[in-house]
Amino acid sequence: MRKGLQNLEDNENQNYKIIAVDDEEGIVDSLSIFLRRSGYNFVGITDPLEAIERVKNEHFDLMILDFIMTPIHGDQVVEEIRKFNKDLYILLLTGHKDLAPPLETIRRLDIQGYCEKSDKFDQLLLLIESGIKSIAQMNQIKKINIELSDTYEKLEQAYLESIQTLRYTVEAKDTYTRGHSDRVSEFSVLIGKYLNLPEPDLDTLRIGGLFHDIGKIGVPDSILQKEAKLTDDEYSQIKQHPNIGVHILSHAKIFQNILPIVEHHHERFDGNGYPGRLSGENIPYLARITAVADSFDAMSSKRSYRDSLPLDVIKDEFIKNKGTQFDPDITDVFLDILNNHFDEIQEIQEKYTGIEDEDF
């Protein structure tokens, strides 16, 4: 049985073509052995200039790329590739964290992740598996787009149903997150109403809240379900979920308005959040609203490692973090809701009571 499942997985991996680029032949050889054993269709190249031409003339799903190479570095390789290929999923290898390119460069070139070189490839394999999941979902969305391009109404519905299914898949991975996105969606809209936002912004908040964590489909279950404290590497993988979410949704026109929410709902007002370390008004406004709603639901929901926090404690947290983690004006409006309109919060919470026990 186990052997049969492994063969099935290997056959599925054969559908994905991986190119690795490193000017150290030993690294390429090791990757070749490791990835071919895992069933992947693999090509290894030691010349970065040759790699650019191969990607230009041949389809690859994922690239593993060394950063420090000759005659050109990895970021220059990506710079050239992004001129003609925006879809290639790229993982960057670095000899040491201090040698990694700046975060701004990683974001600008749409590099999906990076890790340090090691004699063991366990972390790299996790990143590859996460990448393949993201690529599979992106390909599914593209396929639906082609098949239904002649009927926009059907296309829109198909996209919504497809991504909704992904959302349920994400929430099914962790009992304690089921219902979370529904509540974040409604809390965000409630805050938006008290901010007197126009209807189109409320619609964006509603949909953005539903799909803000969609990128967790690319995070290993072992990390999402871990009850103990995460390691630095595990936390780094969690922090990739906004970028993965954007990568999944960016090919659907109907989701363009919510991409800032998906990408930036973990930014902090003081600039110490992720993935972009944006601060103040540089953080998209609707993402700042979603951040407040997301944090409130996290604090007010039961988790495997703690019970839900008392309302007074939650209020104190928002007061303490106003202007550092949260937009101060949005925080003031939300505190007013908690103090004077808490019945509306309770209606939303009661609406989704028991959803944690449902099967998806």
| Dist CA 209 CA 297 (whole Å) | 12
Helices 180-194 & 285-300 angle (0-180, nearest 10): 130
**CA distances, 21 to each of 93, 167, 270 (Å):** 10, 34, 38
111 within 8 A of 141, measured Cβ to Cβ: no
Written as one string, the DSSP assignment of 202-267 is: HHHHHHHHHHTTGGGGGS-HHHHT--SPPPHHHHHHHTTHHHHHHHHHTT-GGGGGGHHHHHHTT-
Is 193 considered catalytic here? no
Helices 74-81 & 48-57 angle (0-180, nearest 10): 20
Instruction: Give the strands of the sheet with 62-66, arranged side by side.
Output: 41-45, 17-21, 62-66, 89-94, 113-116
Q: Which of 133, 216, 226, 239 is catalytic?
A: 216
Going by C-alpha positions, the residue among 252, 251, 253, 173 that lies closest to residue 213 is 173
Q: Are strands 17-21 and 113-116 parallel, antiparallel or unpaired?
A: unpaired
| Dist CA 18 CA 60 (whole Å) | 6
**Residues involved in catalysis:** 216
